[in-house]
Structure 1
Amino acid sequence: MSANDVVELHVSIDGGSERKFVGRYAWTLFELIHADEKGCTPIEQPAPRWSHYVFVLRQKGVVIETITEKHAGAYAGTHARYVLHGTVEIRKVVRAGEKRRAA
């Protein structure tokens, strides 16, 4: 983990009240917000359990579409592209380095 990694994220989803996400859920949502309509893939933004982070975010009311894409290469197959839908407004971002300084 780098000092720049997002570890806590406060957002408003579709104009609702502020919600807090921590850890990899915060990081995943931050990546999805900044990817905009291009979306994110585990190939472009490596993380160990993308599908689980997306699953949990969906349970918490975040609307995320999964698009299946093919890829070539020695390990050809398919991968997911995750695209955030709705309006997610960032209220506060806490990065790993900031968290360590506060502790």
Structure 2
Amino acid sequence: MAETSNWGTAPYTLYLPNQTQSYIAVSGRDRWALEALIAAGEKGCTPIDTPGPRWSGYVFNLRRLGVAIETVTEAHDGPFAGTHARYVLRSRVTRSQGQAA
């Protein structure tokens, strides 16, 4: 993931399944999460391996912009056994110089 302390608005190109492109602008923690998902590739991100205070909120916001993100439920052991989410980017997204909508 890109190392930065400036999470201002950045443009991205979103490649849609129908072979068209969309331009989105993302900032703040939503941008941080999108860049983490891009960097993780098929492995995806969990709040355990990529800590962030509101992963579900970031994913919700990105989905509203049209970004396809799969939620995979995984079991974990330990004294507080249960499940957690793994988020996997299913859209092709790149940083762009394009115009954000």
Give the TM-score band, short-chain normalised: 0.7 to 0.9
Partner deviation per Cα, 1:22-57 (whole Å, 9 max, x = no partner):
000000000000100110000000011100110111
Distance 2:88 2:95 in 1: 17
Instruction: Spell out structure 1 runs of 4+ moving beyond 3 A.
Output: none
The answer to whether 1:18 aligns with 2:23 is: yes
Structure 1: gaps (5+ residues): 93-103
When the two structures are aligned, how many residues end up with a matched partner?
Answer: 90
Which has a greater percent of helix?
Answer: 1
Which has a greater percent of strand?
Answer: 1
Distance 1:58 1:82 in 2: 12
What RMSD, in angstroms, separates the aligned Cα atoms of the two structures? 1.7
Aligned-pair identity (%): 49
| Number of the residue aligned with 2:4 | 4
| Number of the residue aligned with 2:72 | 67
Mean alpha-carbon deviation: is it higher for 43-52 or for 3-12?
3-12
Q: TM-score, normalising length from structure 2?
A: 0.81
Q: TM-score, normalising length from structure 1?
A: 0.79
The answer to whether 1:41 aligns with 2:46 is: yes
Structure 2: gaps (5+ residues): none
Contact 2:73 2:85 in 1 (8 A): yes
